[in-house]
Amino acid sequence: MQLIPDRLVATDADGSVIGTCPIHGDGPHHLGPLVVNLAITITAASTGAMPRVSWSVANRGDTAVRPWSVAVVFTVAHRGPLRMFRHGYQSWSPCDVATLGVHHDPSLDNPTGIELVQGVHHADQRTARPDELRSEFVTVLADADTPMGADAAGKAIAVGFDAGVDHDGTFRLRPGNASGSNVGRQRVGRSGPIGRRHRRTVGRGVLGGARLDPGTSLTLHGFAATTDAPVAELLTAWAALVGTAGAARTAAAFQVGWCSWYHYFHDVTEAHLRSNLAASGSWPFDVFQLDDGYQAAIGDWLDTNAKFPSDIAGLASAIAASGHTPGIWLAPFIAAPDSQLATAHPDWMARTHDGAGPLPGMFNPPWGGGMGGIMLALDTTNPEVLDHLTGVARQLRDAGYDYLKLDFTFAPSFDGVFSDPTRTPAQRVRAGYDAIRAGAGDDAFILGCGAPISHVVGAVDGNRIGSDVDPRWTLDPARADEAYPDALPATLHAFRNTLARSFMHRSLWLNDPDCVMLRTTETDLDPAGVRTWAETVAVSGGMVLVSDDLALLNATSRALLDEVIAVGREVDAESQAGSPPVCDDLLDASPPGRLRSARRSLVVDTSTGHGKLTSI
């Protein structure tokens, strides 16, 4: 397989082409008013030349331009059908494998037809072409008919962006043919592409319509293709490079804790918190984290509701008095329409493009909020909003919370009107995280959730890497017709992403696979499923959080947790030494079912949730 440089293309927000031109070597390329300064370095490999792209874009015209994307198009010279590892956009977005011409983009199955629903799971919220596949931040391309096991070196190509804090990077795979490109007809080396089937792969810098004024420029994140190693090694090496370049925060201690969400959900009360604190003395929890349900309203994070007679400082004091680090949940980039924040500062909310009103940032009916569960996205390009976020984080730290979980943090990436139109969606999300970090301090543990993966490297200490678990293995059948069902709560969905993103642990952050489910009552997980998920968390080396009412757990539950922690610490230490766990069947099964660390191997029947853990 070879990637042959073909064309540059820039598009605007409505999909119109701003400019396009063939790639004619390094140097400036003119795309209408835009100039892309391009450099492609070629590295020899067993399967052909592997490109590395460095580039920037400048506006040399007389008026402002709002490019949606700038893309490098490559011809893919390959004889057989191609499959693609599709890496998801944010924490809950599914990671899977698809074959070009067989599968299609999930945006085509969105029953709501609402672009903002797609914006939750894609850097580009618009519906994809029917004939294309796409992956965010990183991808792997391979022959659809060739097994890609642990020893399949040189049979796949990994392509990944170096970073994603200034703009998103998306890869798209499309059909093509030799006659569509002069470059595609050239002979390359002894086994040139003549006679092979051709496709297009597109490395796209998504600027999201950020305004580029005359005379201004933006250095785009580079990307590179690599091969000559098994898939797991290619992805591990890519994550290590991205983490180093992005000053990833990977030094935090192994995390063990308790969280209120998966037993009490929105109905949590102070009595629930205190009863679990009272029962926690013999449990090995470092962190005790209060989740959604304490706040006066979404957006009003410093005030408690009637279910919590104590204020946030009093709750933190109670947690600390029990010997645990106080943790708290917030969704800092959204606000309920009837919250004190939104009513006092309507100008702090981003706006829809049509001027109809504030920009929705999330929909969750249990939150209420005055508009049936529609939450509003904060304008994180507004300096006053950033000062507010810094102040909230500082006050939470002053109240005693050293562990902050930030949720639904994709909201500022949605397409809308922001006070600074020159900022890209990635920059809007990152600005919010940086403001929180400024208030929380460098020594706070910040956990990202609902976080665009590429935006938060270097900003978070831990990051959720999959969808919510659920007290069942597969998706609740009642939710099967919802948009993006593979991202909805199900233990299988969390399992799939834990394997698919295992290579990120201790390179980009501490992986948070989500909570273990230890209870044997009030659950639809059978005992084998309970153990399988617990062992998955263990072999991932990631954070270990319990979210059951401790009164429901018995000695068997405690013994299983102790096993998880012991194995998890072992695998985490291996990851810190540069050997994170790997998924050997990432491209061979969807979902995959094999996770391996240096000394452990877990094999799972994903149809039943039953697995077997062995020592190597």
Residue 574: what residue type?
E
- Catalytic residue, chosen from 105, 379, 407, 470, is 407
Residues in the chain: 616
The whole-angstrom separation of Cα 565 and Cα 567 is 6
pLDDT of residue 180: 36
Residue with tokens 């605007």: 12
Catalytic residue among 168, 468, 572, 585: 468
For the chain, the C-alpha Rg in angstroms (whole number) is: 24
C-alpha of 419 from chain center: 26
Q: What is the 3-state secondary structure (H, E, C) of 398-423?
A: HHCCCEEEECCCCHHHCCCECCCCCC
Neighbours of 455 (CB within 10 A): 34
Cα separation, 174 vs 193, whole angstroms: 17
To the query of whether residue 468 is one of the catalytic residues in this protein, the response is yes
* pLDDT of the residue at 196: 40
Count Cα atoms within 13 angstroms, Cβ side, for 91: 28
What pLDDT does residue 177 have? 56
- From the list 520, 491, 546, the residue with the least C-alpha distance to 262 is 546
Contact 19, 33 (CB under 8 A): yes
Tokens 């009863």 sit on residue? 275
Task: Return d(Cα 9, Cα 383) in angstroms, integer.
Answer: 34
Q: Which two tokens stand for residue 184?
A: 């595609």
pLDDT digits (tens, 9 = 90+) for 256-274: 999 999 999 999 999 999 9
pTM of the model: 0.96
Could you list the mean pLDDT of each consecutive 10-residue stretch along the chain, which spans 616 residues?
93 93 97 98 81 98 97 90 97 98 97 95 96 98 88 88 98 73 28 45 96 98 95 96 98 98 97 98 97 98 98 98 98 98 98 93 97 98 98 98 98 98 98 98 98 98 98 96 97 98 98 96 96 98 98 97 98 97 95 97 98 96
What pLDDT digit, counting tens, does each position of 174-202 carry? 998 543 333 322 222 222 222 344 578 89
Sign of CA dihedral 237, 243, 245, 251: negative
Beta-ladder partners of 611: 604
**Structural domains of the chain ordered from first start:** 2-245 (no CATH), 256-580 (3.20.20.70)
Residue 26 among the catalytic residues: no
